[in-house]
Structure 1
Amino acid sequence: MSLIRRGNAFDPFSVDLCDPFDGFLFGSGSSGGGLFPSFPRVSSETAAFAGARIDWKETPESHVFKADVPGLKKEEVKVEVEDGNILQISGERRKEQEEKTNKWHRVERSSGKLMRRFRLPENSKPEQIKASMENGVLTVTVPKEEPKKHEVKSIQISG
């Protein structure tokens, strides 16, 4: 069973998977001891970064995705289109190399992989996607097609 979600609300265009029983004592979990099938888990090390926040707005001309990817260079982020209509944004922030002489007092910055996928609406032009990055924000612009005008054709009635 897989569910589609966006934040706390369900989104028909998102292809992110979630575990609806996460946190329940009888839930699925990775141990396999629950009453429900197992779902893949994101390690706690990568959890914060893997769930990178992405805004998606629609303008009259395009769909615009904005992703917070602080600390990443544009070379460390990939924007791809799969199967003609799945927008995939991915990247990875690596852990800093630890030296034996260092003593950590707090570790709050996340590391790990980022991957988010969105099913683009039918009015998208995936072959014309543009992406840019500025100040840790990735902006992906997907142009929209002009709405198709419905043509009415009269049919001659015989008989």
Structure 2
Amino acid sequence: MSRRRNPFDDLEEFFERFSRQFEDQPGFDQDVFGMGGSNRMSIDLADRDEEFVVTADAPGFSKEEIDVRVTDRRLTIEANRDERSEESDEIYLRSERHSEALRRTIQLPEPVEEDGVSATYKNGVLTITLPKREPETGGKSIDIE
């Protein structure tokens, strides 16, 4: 007897090939699809019963340069920094500029209480605590006539 092939194996293989093709394209913004990129911010997402905890690496940024937003079930972290130093003496003026930007958007597995979200930033590590939203209880009861 021959064994039937699992159709989901074919689908998984298709998505892996599709992903590899996009990764090789210059200028492709992989972060839009949650795939990373050259200025990638490393993220860990932990499920701790009543809450999700996201830990993100953003070394070299101050907390004022980091923006965290939660919309629906999507968490977006942006870090933008502009460095500018000027050196002057009697002979010349030199200006050097450097900017750096990190951005990461992730889809959360469950809805969260947006008002209860908190974040801390210490030693280049951003920790975001997102309390899970209580499940809706039973919906609306409909009277039958």
Identity %: 34
Residue 29 of structure 1 is matched in structure 2 by 26
Residue by residue over 1:48-99, the C-alpha shift from the partner in whole angstroms, topping out at 9 and shown as x without a partner, is 5x201111111012100011111111100000123x2211000123356486
Match of 2:41 among 48, 52, 64: 52
1:143 aligns with 2:131: yes
Aligned residue type for 2:20: P
Instruction: Determine if contact 2:73/2:111 at 8 Å carries over to the other structure.
Output: no
Residue by residue over 1:99-145, the C-alpha shift from the partner in whole angstroms, topping out at 9 and shown as x without a partner, is 6899xxxxxxx952111011223342222111111111111000013
Q: Secondary structure at the match of 2:20?
A: coil
Distance of aligned partners of 1:148 and 1:71 in 2 relative to their CA distance in 1, 3 Å threshold: same
1:131 aligns with 2:131: no
Aligned alpha-carbon RMSD (Å): 3.7
Q: Secondary structure at the match of 1:20?
A: helix
1:20 deviates by: 2.7
Distance 2:58 2:47 in 1: 21
Aligned residue type for 1:76: E
- Relative to its length, the structure with more helix (as a share) is 2
TM-score by length of structure 1 reads: 0.54
Distance 2:67 2:56 in 1: 12
Answer with 1 or 2: which has the greater Rg: 2
1:94 aligns with 2:82: yes
Distance of aligned partners of 1:68 and 1:40 in 2 relative to their CA distance in 1, 3 Å threshold: closer
Aligned residue type for 1:73: S
Instruction: Determine if contact 1:85/1:126 at 8 Å carries over to the other structure.
Output: no
Distance 1:115 1:74 in 2: 14
1:40 deviates by: 4.3
Size of the aligned set, in residue pairs, is: 111
TM-score by length of structure 2 reads: 0.59
Structure 2 unaligned runs (5+)? 1-14, 32-36, 140-145
Match of 1:76 among 65, 73, 82: 65
Distance 2:29 2:121 in 1: 31
